[in-house]
Amino acid sequence: MKIIKLFSLTVILLLSPKIISQEFKLGKVSVTELQQKVHPKDSSAAAAILYKRGKARIDYDQNTGFVTYLDVETRIKIYKKEGYNWANEAIWYYYGTDFKEKVSVSDAVTYNLVGGKIEATKLKSDGVFDEAVSKFRSQKKITMPNVKEGSVIEFKYSVRSPDVLIRDWDFQTSIPVNYSEFKTYVPEYFVFTPAQKGYVFPKVVSEKANKTFLINSKERYNTGGFGGGATQTEFYQDKIEYVETQTTYTAENFAAMKDESYVNNIENYMSSVSHELSMTRFPNKPIKQLSTDWNSVVKTIYDYEDFGPELNKTGYFEDDLKKLLAETKTPEEKIWAIFNHVKSNVKWNNYTGYSCDNGVKKAYKEKTGNIADINLMLTAMLRYSGLTANPVLVSTRSNGIALFPNRTAFNYVIAAVETPSGYILLDASEKFSTPNILPLRVLNWKGRLIRKDGTSEMIDLMPEKASSDNVFMSYSIDSDGKVTGKTRRQYADYNAMIARNNISNLKEEEYLEKLENKHNKIEISDYSKTNEHDVLLPIIETYSFTGNNLCELIGDKIYLNPMLFFTNDKNPFKQEVREYPVDFSYPFADKYNITIKIPEGFAVETLPAPAAVTMEDNLGAFKFNIASNGDTLQLSILHQINEAIVSAEKYDMLKEYYKTMIAKETEKIVLKRI
């Protein structure tokens, strides 16, 4: 099913009757709204948007030219404590030296029903504050007062932008939306290409209207001529007539978008509309095409002062690299030496973006920078060493999928080295990443590689190689059901990067306590790890363990899940129908080799039967084998998924696969006293 719908303002004129917007007005909260205990169509909803209305209009300002105003007013009902976070709002805005947006908040009130009467609590100044997100982006945050279960909150905000742009508008979110309306007012001088995404779409009506704006001017002249006489100033006012396109998007009773297992950012599939300025056409001037395709988009970005020119800066790393590369012989050695040098010497300041904040020279000197500072520096160093390296624009998972050409689709940049066997992708911001093992935030379908000559191409960011997780475990059971054993676990590639992060983020004592709780309250001893910092090798964990809650004793029998705490016991795919792809982030292969020694005086009464499941199109496979040899059982299991992203069309097959796998893994061994 398509999740994006493109259309042109020039052909959107609809013959259907004009939609009459509902009568919503700030300050007119009703007793009925406050008395409502649950949402009438979704009793599980923690909150709901009763209405949200936005107007984006492009007007002429006498001093600055065309500017954009966005006015938004919202009313939200809070049903449960879990919905309290909807009483907080963050409005992002650009804030740079030459480009500053202004945000103002007004009419922010919390309403409660107290003793049968409506009580209003206004937002005070201490509930509004600004927070920097990056060098050029901030957000104004509001925290509504006196919020309780049953409250209704409402607020209004306005954004003034000194440029011609229309922000994205979401008609759906994680709570029900009773009514959402978005209007755009665009003068004939600008052509926007709207794009809708999602599985449900709002109604759209467009119409033309004749408009005017005034231009004030003045002229000074000398009344006496040839320098004599007095100077006089005359003021003029020109009336400019133009045609404005007014478009209204209306959505009613849109259901909440419930986050599901293995979804790459649920917002990618929510109903919304984006607008990209694609053309300007002013009187007596040639038509100017803007971001009409990806090549024009990336050329515009490459020409930015804090992007392309940063790649050409020299004189800050050459001496260090000459020493570093003196002993390298192969391209792979060069790549690793440079990559590791940047990772070790320049730390990420947690700001994303494809534009440099500090600039590569300053970032190298001060040993810190944003994503662009780090990875454009990395690209420049790779080029210096003689490798064919280029930047790749990326939209992170949290930013959404770059569905159609526009300059704001990307918010990140990595480096790519072209080799005879394909591209090697690099991100030096992540401590434990390696070539072609990118941070999970970057694994978001496709990126856009930009070459020096201005050409570009799409690059697949999703891994093809399966990351392994190999578990070797041996344990014995005593007659009281106590389990004693040893585990050796080896992680590679993406699994290794994740494991290293998990281990490094906690003190060993805290990490082991977390591991013990996760593994059904076992006790861990003799813990050790190998290759913790040698990121090119798999990381290995070994430990001994004991557990008193890993078996069931009923009468003279012992019931045992042979995989113990590694058992998959819940199917993550519960929905009858799934409209979104299943995103595993990366292909994986989990293997288990388990040796079990049964207690003296017991014999095997029941063993799970072997099983093998192979999905179509080589999507994945599950194999389960168990054999008995005297008092020892040998178990081998493989669970492998070969595609990072599984299309919704294969959901039923994947769901059935997991159902079969979990049924087999949870099947118990029965030991009987003899």
The predicted-structure confidence for 18-77, as pLDDT tens digits, reads as follows 333 456 889 999 999 999 999 999 999 999 999 999 999 999 988 888 999 999 999 999
pLDDT, residue 579, reads 86
Which residue(s) pair with 126 in the sheet?
Answer: none
Please report the pLDDT score of residue 656 as a whole number: 97
529 neighbors 644 (Cβ within 8 angstroms): no
Percent of the chain at pLDDT > 90 equals 80
Beta strands in 531-619 (DSSP E): 539-547, 551-554, 557-560, 582-583, 588-597, 602-606, 611-614
Residues 189, 458: Cα–Cα separation, whole Å: 32
pLDDT above 70 (res 3)? no
Nearby residues of 170 by Cβ (< 8 Å), 6 or more positions away: 180, 267, 270, 271, 272
Average pLDDT over residues 559-575: 95
Instruction: Give the dihedral of Cα atoms 305, 310, 316, 317; nearest 10 deg.
Output: 170
Q: Is it the case that residue 15 has pLDDT exceeding 70? A: no
Based on the fold, state whether residues 449 and 373 are members of the same structural domain. yes
Kindly tell me if the per-residue pLDDT of 17 is higher than 70. no
- Per-residue pLDDT, averaged over 428-432, amounts to 97
| Neighbouring residues of 258: CB distance < 8 A, sequence distance ≥ 6 | 174, 266
pLDDT at residue 618, as a whole number: 96
- Contact between residue 7 and residue 275 where contact means Cβ atoms under 8 Å apart: no
* Domain end (from 460, 475, 493): 460
**237 and 310, same domain (yes or no):** no
For residue 173, give the nearest of 74, 92, 269, 93 by alpha carbon: 269
Q: Does residue 338 share a domain with residue 274?
A: no
Window from 169-178, 348-357, 519-528 with minimum mean pLDDT? 348-357
Residue 563 belongs to domain with CATH number: 2.60.120.1130
**What average pLDDT does this structure show over 232-249?**
86
Q: Is the domain of 128 the same as that of 252?
A: yes
pLDDT digits (tens, 9 = 90+) for 434-444: 999 999 999 99
In 3D space, the residue among 90, 89, 93 whose CA is nearest the CA of residue 136 turns out to be 93
Task: Tell me what the mean pLDDT of segment 9-13 comes to.
Answer: 34
Higher pLDDT, 620 or 279: 620
Domain shared by 176 and 320, yes or no: no
Residue 609 sits in the same domain as residue 630: yes
pLDDT at 10: 33
Task: Classify the phi-psi angles of 630: left when phi > 0, otherwise alpha if psi is within -120 to 50, otherwise beta.
Answer: left
575, pLDDT greater than 70: yes
| Per-residue pLDDT at 12 exceeds 60 | no
The pLDDT tens digits of the residues spanning 593-635 come to 999 999 999 999 999 999 999 999 999 999 999 999 999 999 9
Give the SS3 label for residue 518: helix
Do 265 and 197 touch, CB atoms closer than 8 A? no
Instruction: With beta carbons less than 8 A apart as the criterion, state whether 271 and 241 touch.
Output: no
Section 218-244 average pLDDT: 71
pLDDT digits (tens, 9 = 90+) for 360-405: 999 999 999 999 999 999 999 999 999 999 999 999 999 888 877 7
418 and 340, same domain (yes or no) = yes
Q: What is the value of pTM for the model shown?
A: 0.84
Query: CA–CA separation, 182 vs 155, rounded Å?
Result: 16
Instruction: Name residue 183's beta-bridge partners.
Output: 55, 248
Q: How many residues in total does the chain contain? A: 674
Angle, helices 318-325 vs 371-384, to 10°: value is: 60
The tally of domains found in the chain comes to 3
pLDDT at 8 over 50: no
Work out the mean pLDDT of the chain and round it to a whole number: 92
* Domain containing residue 454: CATH number: 3.10.620.30
pLDDT value of residue 312: 94
Domain with 416 in it: 295-460
Paired residues of 58 in beta bridges: 68
Shared-domain flag, residues 513 and 420: no
Spatial distance between the Cα atoms of 425 and 417, rounded to a whole number of angstroms = 7
From the list 492, 552, 550, 556, the residue with the least C-alpha distance to 516 is 550
Give yes or no for residue 106 having a pLDDT over 60. Answer: yes
Does 14 share its domain with 154? yes
Residue with tokens 């300007």: 280
Q: Are 45 and 70 part of one and the same domain?
A: yes
Query: Is 61 in the same domain as 173?
Result: yes
CATH number assigned to the domain comprising residue 97: 2.60.40.3140
3-state DSSP of 353-414 = CCCCCCCHHHHHHHCEECHHHHHHHHHHHHHHCCCCEEEEEECCHHHCCCCCCCCCCCCEEE
Q: What per-residue confidence (pLDDT) applies to 42?
A: 96
Task: Look at strands 203-222 and 231-254 and give their pairing.
Answer: antiparallel
Greater pLDDT, 222 or 492: 492
What is the distance between the alpha carbons of residues 146 and 379, in angstroms, rounded to a whole number?
A: 51
| Residue 14, pLDDT above cutoff 50 | no
pLDDT at 347: 97
